[in-house]
């Protein structure tokens, strides 16, 4: 028989670890951009990291019914994606908004 408490703890640990690594990717992209502000690759990594952090918070929101962090990060990701004209990321952001509001 599966212990739901253990599954819940494993889920939270895994999601928190995921968010930790995604935040490190975001920090790395910001560092690269501080040295090379025109790096298109770093700009896309930053946009993708913001979007993926929001997705991780969305999954957590399904667990604890709190979608505020997901929404804030999605808004930040959309704003940045528009700034750098990264259309794929913009589309993914709107998809994410649909998932959050669904």
Residues 19, 53 contacting (CB under 8 angstroms):
yes
Predicted local confidence at residue 1, as pLDDT: 47
How many domains would you assign to the chain?
1
- pLDDT tens figures, 19-41: 999 999 999 999 999 999 999 99
* Residues 34, 44: Cα–Cα separation, whole Å: 14
What range does the domain containing 14 cover? Answer: 4-101
Tell me phi and psi for residue 50, to 5 degrees: -60, -45
Residue positions counted in the chain: 102
Count of C-beta atoms within a 10 Å radius of residue 58? 18
* Residues 89, 75: Cα–Cα separation, whole Å: 12
Look-up: residue for tokens 């700034």?
83
């Amino acid at each position: 028989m599966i212990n739901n408490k253990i599954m819940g703890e494993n889920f939270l640990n895994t999601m928190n670890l995921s968010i930790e690594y995604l935040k490190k990717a975001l920090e790395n992209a910001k560092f690269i951009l501080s040295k090379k502000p025109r790096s298109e690759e770093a700009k896309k990594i930053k946009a993708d990291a913001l979007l993926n952090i929001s997705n991780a918070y969305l999954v957590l929101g399904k667990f604890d019914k709190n979608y505020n962090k997901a929404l804030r990060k999605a808004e930040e990701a959309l704003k940045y994606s528009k700034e750098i004209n990264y259309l794929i990321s913009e589309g993914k952001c709107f998809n994410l908004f649909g998932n959050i509001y669904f």
